[in-house]
Amino acid sequence: MTEAVGGHQKAHSHHINYNFVAPDMSVPEIFDACFEPVGKQGWKSNIVIAVCLGLIGWAFFKWLEQNFVGFGKTGLHIPIFWGYYIITFVFWIGVAHAGALISALLRLCGAEWKGVVTRVAEVITLFTLPAAGSFPLIHLGRFEVFYYMLPYPNSRLLWPNFKSMLMWDVFAISTYLTGSVLFLYVTMIPDLGIARPRMKGWMRTLYTLLSWGWRGTAEEWKRVKEAAALYSVVILPVVISVHTIVSWDFAMEVVPGWHSEVFGPLFFVGALYSGVAAVMTMLTILYWTYKPYQKLITSVHYDMLGRVWLVLGLAWAYLFFNDFLPAYYTHEPEKMDYMWYNAFGAYAPAWWFLIVGNFVMPLFCLSSKAFRRSRLPMFMLSIVVNICMFIERVVIFIPGQEIYNHLNGATTHYSPSLTELSIVVGSFGWVIGGLCVFCRIFPILPFWEVAETRVRQIEREVAGVKINYFQSGE
């Protein structure tokens, strides 16, 4: 039994594939392409990893200095009690949302083009989530007291304050990280088992241990696919709850601009919006870096992912302005002060850049199929969107604190110190360096999923037109 998922393979006038077609490669060729960067070193990636290690080392030094000297090394002051540490925490949590949710949704929907997207998204989560989780601990100032947040019996009868929103973050992030790692690992086991005989040295030992004796029997394939489907379902409510809980860090406060009922869906959809942008960035870098990937990552993937991005952009635009319209309609004094402060005060340049870069430009550009299929414009747009998403967190968190209790006339404007900027940049070094190292050790494109899609593809000619079908089932 077959199921039609494609339309015309080629448009007669321009000879362009307007629907997904599996790569015209044999299974061994797909294997060689997916495992192209594994076990290899290049001078370009060596430079990237060296720079990232330098950024991480400098950030670690500044963090130790902050612990020794105190929080005076930061730009935080009363009433600005949350700054770039918490802003970056929310930013990385948002980017991390791309992984599990995009992968889960594409698997559940049965999208045939998902192969080259799912693992890229999951690996981004693997590195951005620990980066996010580190910032609340860095923000503690006294890092050594973090164990007070662990709910375990002790002789002093000290227990975490479960009424604290930061405690909710601990449980949400740890649950999400555990689920994401398991989700990624389960779908990697077939690739590890298949590639194990071809590996050499310590990598063969690593693949042997991680593949758990994979033999490729029908029962093993059945269990892997069932596990992937199960995780796809289970991870969805976890993803939704995590960023909703992160939004409660702010919505539960009475600070102007924070105390908003719409923050749950606003943060969640905004996280997906920035996460898709991060996946787009990573896909383009992989396309430009590894030549064999150019046969696997096609313009159709950009088009399909761009459509998802457009829908999320429209939803996020609605929720973003929905946060302001009720307050504007009722002329709520503190919220009006907050809106005025953003639009025409100290943060006006950042605010209007945010409006243009996150709403006007993406929505117009992504409405064009020609733009969605163009790699360089999509890459540039993804960079602009994530810069604007970081700015969005800044203009939400900082102005609200500066006008809190009408202290805006006597408040020193917050600006991050060298210590804060160093640690924030160090987190980018961790994410970028981690992705580079992962590509050297493991396949970042799932061989078994791409190969399976290629094997299931059937081409038929109907009324003189070639139609692509994908055989359903195993």
**DSSP character string of 307-368:** HHHHHHHHHHHHHHHHTTHHHHHHT-HHHHHHHHHHHHSTTHHHHHHHHIIIIIHHHHHHT-
What would the mean pLDDT of 162-174 be, rounded to a whole number? 80
Q: How far is CA 353 from CA 55, 361, 377, in A?
A: 28, 10, 18
Strand partners, 238: none
The predicted structure's pLDDT at residue 9? 39
Distance of CA 422 to the CA centre of its chain: 22
Q: Which strands, in side-by-side order, build the sheet including 2-8?
A: 2-8, 465-471, 457-462
* pLDDT at 140 exceeding the cut of 90: no
Q: Whole-number mean pLDDT of the chain? A: 81
Give the single-character DSSP code of 153: -
- Unique residue bearing structure tokens 């696997």: 296
Q: Give the Cα separation of 27 and 3 in Å (integer).
A: 22
Q: Give the Cα separation of 396 and 90 in Å (integer).
A: 11
What would the mean pLDDT of 242-268 be, rounded to a whole number? 82
pLDDT in tens, 32-88: 888 888 877 777 788 988 999 999 999 999 998 888 888 888 888 777 888 888 889
- Unique residue bearing structure tokens 């690996």: 123
- Unique residue bearing structure tokens 């076990």: 39
pLDDT in tens, 418-440: 988 999 999 999 999 999 889 88
Token pair belonging to 382: 């993804």
What would the mean pLDDT of 395-409 be, rounded to a whole number? 70
Dihedral angle over CA of 55, 99, 33, 8, nearest 10: -140
Q: Give the Cα separation of 112 and 41 in Å (integer).
A: 32
Q: Pick the closest to residue 82 from 131, 140, 37, 30 (CA basis).
A: 140
pLDDT in tens, 332-355: 777 787 788 788 877 888 889 988
pLDDT: is 368 or 324 the higher one? Answer: 368
The predicted structure's pLDDT at residue 380? 93
SS3 237: helix
All structural domains of the chain with their residue ranges = 76-415
Give me the count of residues in the chain.
474
The predicted structure's pLDDT at residue 469? 58
Given CA atoms 23, 25, 26, 30 in this order, what sign does their dihedral have?
A: negative
Dihedral angle over CA of 172, 178, 183, 188, nearest 10: 150
pLDDT: is 278 or 4 the higher one? Answer: 278
